[in-house]
Amino acid sequence: MDVQKERRKIANIPDQTCFGCGSANAIGLQMQFTADDEKIYSHVTVPVSMAGWDTTVHGGILSTILDEMMGWSVIYLLGKVGVTKSMTVEFLKPVKTEQPLTAIGFIQEVVSDRLIMVTGEIYNQDAVLSARSIGTFAAMTSQAAVRLGVMSGSYMERFLPVLKQREEGGCR
């Protein structure tokens, strides 16, 4: 894992219901994010109710965390709406519930204005890389996201400050 650089808090809309990052989703992960100039970070502890075998975090939950990290990398680092086209996940070590995890996301390559390669990583409490993903994301402007039905116009109005926060100095 990288040496910690100065990080900024990434704001989300307060009534977000997303399973991964929604503070209004009582059964979700309620992930929160910080960022430096190149990466985004989240510290998350997965409850035992999201286990697969015994106290091992279910692979689908790990995939969700990785997908969130990659999606928020596109949102915050590029200021665009990003939707997952494909992702490949490597489960490297068992990840235990009720243990603090650090997830990291970063842009691997901007292939074009609309095609982004992104990486997500999950480290266990001992800072050991335990899961990694590479994703291909379709990136789009706020107008395209509404036109394509990714989100409604009213939702985008509420989300737009989140999308523009890096260019406007972000939250500290």
Q: Using one digit for the tens of pLDDT, what is the confidence trace for 134-171?
A: 999 999 999 999 999 999 999 999 999 999 998 876 55
Q: Using one digit for the tens of pLDDT, what is the confidence trace for 8-59?
A: 999 999 888 998 898 999 998 999 999 999 999 999 999 999 999 999 999 9
172 pLDDT exceeds 50?
Answer: no
Q: Report which residue type is found at 42.
A: S
Q: What is the DSSP letter of 1?
A: -
Are residues 53 and 103 in contact, defined by beta-carbon separation less than 8 angstroms? no
Q: Report which residue type is found at 61.
A: I
pTM for this entry: 0.93
Q: Report which residue type is found at 131.
A: A
